[in-house]
Structure 1
Amino acid sequence: MSKDIEVALVTGGNRGIGYELVKQLALKGLKVILASRDPEMGHKAVQRFKELDLDVSCVVMDVTNQESIRHAAVAINEKYGKLDLLINNAGVYLDKNEKLLAMDPCILEKTMATNFFGIYHVIRSFIPLMEKQGYGRIINLSSEYGAFNEMSYPGVGAYKLSKFALNGLTRLVAAEIRGDIKINAVDPGWVCSDMGGPSAPRTPEQAAEYILWFATIGPEGPNGGFFRDGKRIEW
């Protein structure tokens, strides 16, 4: 792990891929902040990490609540004064395989609120902690469903649109940021988790390996890219 990275924040870090990312980062010696919408679930996850003697703390943050994000950003700034790594892992998959125009509009609205606007507000609130030190790494967990050619096929429309928009956000932010701050979108693949289901072929440990590579990239590393298994894929 790069010596430059000391403080990391993982949203949705109390379970699934997020939990594994927190664990792997803490094992590498980072101070890891686990963001959880549910205080009790966040606290239980931190207790499990403390039993392993890992440096993990919890911040309560609901990515669909701007005030909650702002409070978390203030708390982390007051405690650490910076943020080196932000992993936007929190997300929802609410679709049943319905056509976009036939589904209840609230499914699309809730999906976009978490998977797109939530990440937008998190980045907007935490990137100042990176800008003031001129360094940071941001990893957005996307999906192959967000690729442009997936828009030619019906089904899972709310989730697809949310990840398509997230990919666009990744590129736009990459074009705007200055200094040694990099942002990339990563498709973790089909992972055995609450979201992916028990029949998924990939473990959270396998997914974490490819995601965390982007935490260690140097100044010459990619910025504004879309990757799966460490390889660049088409938008």
Structure 2
Amino acid sequence: MKKVLITGANKSIGFETTRQLLQKGYYVYLGSRNLANGLEAVEKLKAEGLNEVEAIQIDVSNQASVDAARAEIGKKTDVLDVLINNAGISGGLPQTATGTDIAVFQKVFETNLYGVVRVTRAFIDLLQSAPQPRIVNVSSSMASLTLNSDPSWPFYHHKGAAYLPSKTALNMYTVTLAYELRDTPFKVNAIDPGFIATDFNNHRGTGSVEEAGARLVKYATIGDDGPTGRFFSEENNPATGEIPW
């Protein structure tokens, strides 16, 4: 049975992604910053008959928490097949380039970029033990420099001075990581789940968590002929899924 760790998985897109991977026969370590919330999420899934899941406390913005999660999972398995870096924060919107306090930038980057780096570094050895390791970094079409520079893009006027750069930086980390692992079985991609109605955006999104979960699962389970080091947003490009950086 393949094993996956999903950060920020106790609700919304992470929770639905957990559900869909469980339905596909994966064993899921459901990462949650608050353990009580994670345990509650696990009970909901088990009530649906999805039992191959357990909660793991992990605050991606805290190195000690990440190290403790690595130690805990390491007691249970020598192999991790998939890592989905899903945990993320907006930092509160709106965010102007001249008016947003530096503390907001630091907080957003601490989770959205440094958190991904922490977790990836902590679990890379378990992933390297898997025959077909996959890393999915949950990004956003808002990270695209090209789209954000195009006045005809529907979301052109939706800027966020801290959030957008944090995801753009995440994309570059994804490219660099994929390049470093290019001669291995790894597949590493940045995936935009879409503009999804969750509490992240006060439920203003137009897509469903089911759609978002399916997009993440698609790239978490790609075959050996699948892409690596790419940026996909099926909402913005239904034809091929790939969008410009």
Q: What TM bracket, shorter-length normalisation?
A: over 0.9
- 1:78-157 map, 5 Å: 78-149=75-146, 152=149, 155-157=159-161
Q: Is 1:25 the counterpart of 2:21 in the alignment?
A: yes
- 1:34-45 map, 5 Å: 34-45=30-41
* Offset of residue 60 of structure 1: 0.2
Most deviating of 197-206 and 11-20: 197-206
Q: Is 1:9 the counterpart of 2:19 in the alignment?
A: no
| AA aligned opposite 1:188 | P
Most deviating of 135-144 and 89-98: 89-98
Most deviating of 90-99 and 28-37: 90-99
CA distance in structure 2 between the aligned counterparts of 1:151 and 1:120, rounded to whole angstroms: 25
Q: Is 1:234 the counterpart of 2:230 in the alignment?
A: no
* Offset of residue 94 of structure 1: 1.4
- 1:118-197 map, 5 Å: 118-149=115-146, 152=149, 155-177=159-181, 178-197=183-202
Q: Which has the higher strand share?
A: 1
Equivalenced residues, count: 231
Unaligned runs of 5+ in 2: 150-155, 235-239
Structure 1, residues 182-231: CA drift from partner, whole Å, max 9, x if none?
Answer: 11001111101110322311010011112211122111210000001261
Aligned mate of 2:211, from 172, 193, 206:
206
State the Cα RMSD in Å: 1.5
- TM-score normalised over the length of structure 1: 0.93
Aligned mate of 2:220, from 215, 221, 225:
215
Contact kept? 1:95, 1:158, Cα under 8 Å: no
Query: What percent identity do the matched residue pairs reach?
Result: 36
